[in-house]
Structure 1
């Protein structure tokens, strides 16, 4: 039973992390657009600079999980696994019917 549930949990968690990474980028853009054009204090200027660095890091280092670079681990992996499993089951059933 663990072999069935573990890939589902793994794909879900990896997809959630990737979604949070994308949400962080959009949140940074949203916060940046709300800042005044001219910072009033030095702290405002530092905050704007920090937000810009965070946004840049979040864009360039978007999280993505892969299995050694062969395929990404997300919901598409589950669909692929189910497709391959179904195809193999059909082939096995065809061989069993011939016997």
Structure 2
């Protein structure tokens, strides 16, 4: 099985390749500018919760206590709250 390389030898293909600007430098500049911003956004997105209140306006220490009360079975804040409510309704305090 042979590969036909004659396509690249055609004058039209060569001319088009010569006419197209080399964008590698522009792309490199863009990536160098965008990479730190993207890394910062990812760091903020995946950072541990350092707020004093969660989105349900429950203090974070109380949320951590509820998580311990639920034996760390929930993965999200809303899951912790829902599991705590169910456990309190079923077992009582």
Same fold (TM over 0.5): no
Q: Rg bigger for which structure?
A: 2
* TM-score, structure 1 normalization: 0.30
* TM-score, structure 2 normalization: 0.32
Higher relative helix content = 1
